[in-house]
Structure 1
């Protein structure tokens, strides 16, 4: 999936304008990087278009353990979206990310291991 398609899909699924979808995408990937080990983030980033790789640079070698509410709070603060918009946006972003990479590459994402996060990627379109 190329960058324009990715952002367009996030915009449509989250029902936010394109510029907000770009901010949402960056915020979600940065927050996801905090939940991944460095190796997991690198592996996932390698499957994405170049403009989406930098936000997945893991800030630390170890993954942080935080839940869905904290994930959404971080995305909301980083993106400037309301908590409600961020919650919808996280679902749109993670489902688009899942579509963009193969299942075996998405499966290690810790967000997928927790039921609350798994629900975020179930609803598409």
Structure 2
């Protein structure tokens, strides 16, 4: 999926006022997601994103734990929402709504087996933000 298409879908799903807000939300979510996922998985996700979003995700993964074997930081939904809100310059309720929209777009943009691996690496409270068929999946911490 191309960058503009992803941002447009996030804007529509999250009912954001403009593309700039959708871009901020998308970057905030992919960066926070990259901190939570094991570094190898975050790199695989980044490889399937448009170049600028991939670069942001890779940077966040490197800052979170650089080495390829890094297991990802352990944090739940409250910290996930707080980090997204800080990055996007919004409140936590809005951050959760935006995160659900971004995760839905990622679900459509990524290879199905990769979204399954991503869902399995997330704790159940964050996994609830995924589209229903992914949220119901097994795994997580």
TM-score normalised by the chain length of structure 2: 0.81
Tell me which stretches of 4 or more aligned residues in structure 1 moved more than 3 Å. Answer: 110-113
2:117 is paired with a residue of what secondary structure?
coil
- Which has more radius of gyration? 2
Q: Which residue of 2 aligns with 1:27?
A: 28
Report the Cα offset of residue 116 of structure 1. Answer: 2.0
Instruction: Please give the alpha-carbon distance, in whole angstroms, between the structure 2 residues aligned to 1:89 and 1:111.
Output: 21
Q: 1:42 matched to which residue of 2?
A: 43
Across the two proteins, how many residue pairs are aligned to each other?
A: 123
Alignment of 1:106-125 (within 5 A): 106-109=115-118, 113-122=122-131
Residue 98 of structure 2 corresponds to: 89
CA distance in 1, matches of 2:118, 2:47: 14
Structure 1 gap segments, 5+ residues each: none
Q: CA deviation at 1:18?
A: 1.3
- Alpha-carbon distance in structure 2 between the residues aligned to 1:73 and 1:110: 20
Cα displacement (A) at 1:110 = 5.3
Question: Larger relative contact order (C-alpha < 8 A, sep ≥ 6)?
Answer: 1
Deviations 1:27-84 (A, max 9, x none): 1111011012221111111111111101211121320000011101000001102222
**Would you say 1:103 and 2:112 are equivalent positions?**
yes
Cα distance in 2 between the residues matched to 1:34 and 1:12: 26
Provide closer, same or farther for how the CA distance between residues 111 and 96 of structure 1 changes in structure 2, counting only shifts above 3 A: farther
> Structure 1 stretch 52-61 or stretch 23-32: which is displaced more?
52-61
Unaligned runs of 5+ in 2: 133-141
What TM-score results when the alignment is normalised by the length of structure 1? Answer: 0.90
